[in-house]
Amino acid sequence: MASTLTPSHAPVRLLRLALAVLGALAIYFDGRDQVSSLGSFVDFISYFTIESNVLAVVVFTIGSIGRDRRAWWDRLRGLSTFCMIVTGVVYAVLLATSGPISWTNVVLHRVLPVAVTLDWLALPTGQRLGYRRSLLWLLAPLLFSAYSLIRGPFAHWYPYSFLNPGRGYARVATYCVVLAAAMALLALVIVLVGNARRRLGGPVGAAALSSPAPRSSAT
């Protein structure tokens, strides 16, 4: 019987590399347009979307090698999955408009978040992930929010409308608390799914599937 899909399979490595290239191109062309309109490269890299997509490109690039199953790699994949799902969901719920959007916007907010999620679902982790440690992933959006709120008054610019305290810090705090609670739940779900996927198709399961069935002795 054929073995389960693994990161070492050539189609997996090629697909991850193609997604890394697509993401890098989208970041480059989006950056070219955004810096031209914003007038600041720092503003451009101060979007959580850009930061999470850069991480996804790095993860897909490393993943295209296809052989590393150490614990740090599983945690990095989990963090990337967490950040990209946050990017996709927050965009869809709070930021998306009904008008036409650029291809770079589609790639960064829709295509890559879905691709990273499917990668997590399709390819099992090498190690079991801990639930408490996964909550450390929340540091990424929390530090981003703190940075945005501290920098905002000096730069006179906020990356997202829900972080702009123009209508009061209570409104911003409400958004942050609600989003933090939802993100904590998301982190736990990602670990739950990852561990379940590993049990169903991890290294042991793959070895069992790839090994020939024992022959029954003649009676």
Q: Write the single-letter amino acid at 193.
A: V
Cα–Cα–Cα angle for 71, 191, 45, rounded to 5 degrees: 80
Q: How many residues does the chain have?
A: 219
The residue written with tokens 């916007």 in the block is 105
Confidence of residue 138 (pLDDT cuts 50, 70, 90): very high
Smallest CA-to-CA distance from 123 within 183, 62, 54 is with 62
Smallest CA-to-CA distance from 56 within 30, 36, 29, 86 is with 86
Q: Would you state the pLDDT for residue 61?
A: 94
Q: Are 55 and 83 in contact (CB under 8 A)?
A: yes
Q: Is residue 177 predicted with pLDDT exceeding 70? A: yes
Q: What is the mean pLDDT of the chain?
A: 87
Confidence of residue 67 (pLDDT cuts 50, 70, 90): low
Following CA atoms 163, 180, 76, 41 in sequence, which dihedral angle do they give, to the nearest 10 degrees?
0
Q: Would you state the pLDDT for residue 113?
A: 97
Smallest CA-to-CA distance from 119 within 177, 149, 166, 74 is with 74
Mention every residue, 6+ apart, whose C-beta is less than 8 A from residue 96.
109
Q: Would you state the pLDDT for residue 211?
A: 39
The residue written with tokens 């989208």 in the block is 26
Which of the given ranges, 8-17, 77-86, 92-101, 189-198, has the highest pLDDT on average?
A: 77-86
Domain boundaries, the chain: 10-207
Q: Which two tokens stand for residue 218?
A: 């003649």
- Alpha-carbon distance of 114 to 54, in angstroms, equals 15
Q: Would you state the pLDDT for residue 84?
A: 98
Confidence of residue 78 (pLDDT cuts 50, 70, 90): very high
